[in-house]
Amino acid sequence: MDTALRYQADTDIMLRIRGLRKQYGNFTALNSLDMDVKKGELYGFVGSNGAGKTTTMKIISGLLKADGGEVYIDGVSALQKPADMKRHIGYMPDFFGVYDNLKVIEYMEFYASIYGFHGKEARQLCLELIDLVNLKDKANVYVDSLSRGMKQRLCLARCLVHDPRLLILDEPASGLDPKARYDMKEILKNLSDMGKTILISSHILTELAEMCSAIGVIKHGQMILSDTASGISARLSASNTLVITVLEKEEEAVRLLMELPGTANVSGRDHIIRLGYDGGAEEEARLLRSLVEKDIPVHGFKREESSLEALFIELTGAR
């Protein structure tokens, strides 16, 4: 089926990337990247430094020319019609500056005027957006006097001035203190609840895991994992180590566990047995019953808490 027709069938896809490539001299930044972001999704885009996150976001936003591939935003090719697409994208870079001698409300009105909002209409819109990001009391303050966290929120408000369909936020919480990160996270959750499609990149994986409905992991310019938040959690659970504490008969328990199907890397020390086991809850219950039937006194039976960081490190090899 023709790619365009096939894409039209997926009307719930806001952003579709296929085979995206970008080369900087001898360095391959993007190597046939594929990605889908559904409408209304808060999509976390994760990868080590140099993996290709910022390059991808800049290509989508029309700031970099791709060397090949396709990018569709709500069914329209962003690479063929970049000027048209800019009305539908709100982009926040990882590093940005502000203008001296402009107040917060004037900064917002400048960007509002770019999109055709003027006069009272523009002022009302800007005041609402400033209020949305909790900067209402700073409306008449010069932007260069704002803290970093406030500037980030202001930039987010600026992204929203033209009511874009897709928000692209490159490390919006970078360099922020915990309170400022929390504030940013709450605003993003509100926007997601309002139905905005948001593509956000970050190194702070726990926060992404908390607020994102889907996560994609990029490595060397390719997507190596893309799944919903629940899918990621299931994957984490299944990959976590099973830890069994026995009061005695440790060696017998280790031998028994090695013989059972689905177990791997069984090892025991100081009454604590660790093994890899990819079974679900029912299989775990059967394994426990096997031990009890052999009169092995089991004191503890649990899955070791694994983290998204651990999964990320495992996937990307980042150390």
Partner 1 sequence: MKINPMLKKEIMVSVRGIRLTVIMLIFNIVLALIGLVVFYSILENAKWSGSIDYSATISLYCMLVVFQVILLIFIVPALTAGSISGERERQTLDILLSSSLSPGKIIFGKLSSSLLSVLLLIFSSLPVMSLVFIFGGVEIADVVVNILFLMYIAFLAGSIGISCSARFRKTGTATAMSYGVLLLIGLGTILATVLLMIMYEWTNTGEWARLLAALVLLVNPGTTLMEIIGNQITGEYFMQELFYSSSGLLYFVTSNWIPASIITQILMVTLILRSAVRRVNPLSKGKPFKQGKPRQ
CB of 199 to partner 1, least distance (A): 14
HSE-up of residue 314 (Cα within 13 Å, Cβ side): 11
User: What count of residues does the chain have?
Assistant: 319
CB of 185 to partner 1, least distance (A): 22
Window 164-203: contact mask with partner 1 (x via CB under 8 A): ----------------------------------------
Q: Which of 221, 167, 229 is nearest to 192 (CA)?
A: 167
Please say which residue, 156 or 205, places its beta carbon nearer to partner 1. 156
Please say which residue, 106 or 309, places its beta carbon nearer to partner 1. 106
Window 92-131: contact mask with partner 1 (x via CB under 8 A): -x-xxxxxxxx---x---xx-xxx--x-------------
Within the chain, how many helices (H) and strands (E) appear?
A: 12, 14
Report helix angle 148-160 to 104-114, nearest 10. 30
CB of 83 to partner 1, least distance (A): 7
CA angle 210, 167, 103 (to 5 degrees): 105
Q: Are 87 and 74 in contact (CB under 8 A)?
A: no
d(CA 304, CA 243): 6
d(CA 300, CA 20): 49
Q: Which stretch binds partner 1 (CB under 8 A): 45-53, 54-62, 189-197, 218-226?
A: 54-62
Residues 6+ apart with CB under 8 A from 143: 98, 99, 102, 103, 104, 107, 151, 154
d(CA 258, CA 275): 9
Which one of 43, 45, 91, 277 is in contact with partner 1 (CB under 8 A)? 91
Which positions from 16 through 35 interact with partner 1, judged by CB under 8 A? 18-19, 21, 32, 34
Which positions from 59 through 88 interact with partner 1, judged by CB under 8 A? 61-70, 79, 82-83, 86-87
CB of 118 to partner 1, least distance (A): 7
Task: Work out whether 162 is an interface residue with partner 1 (CB under 8 A).
Answer: yes
CB of 61 to partner 1, least distance (A): 5
Q: What are phi and psi of 168, to 5 degrees?
A: -120, 110
Strands 89-92 and 263-269, sheet pairing: unpaired
Q: Which stretch binds partner 1 (CB under 8 A): 57-65, 178-186, 243-251, 275-283?
A: 57-65
Total residues binding partner 1 (CB under 8 A): 43
- Residue that has been written with the tokens 């679900």 in this structure: 280
Please say which residue, 77 or 213, places its beta carbon nearer to partner 1. 77
d(CA 126, CA 285): 58
Please say which residue, 111 or 312, places its beta carbon nearer to partner 1. 111
d(CA 93, CA 285): 49
Please say which residue, 169 or 273, places its beta carbon nearer to partner 1. 169
CB of 159 to partner 1, least distance (A): 9
Residues engaged in binding partner 1 (CB under 8 A): 3, 18-19, 21, 32, 34, 58, 61-70, 79, 82-83, 86-87, 89, 91, 93, 95-102, 106, 110-111, 113-115, 118, 155, 158, 162
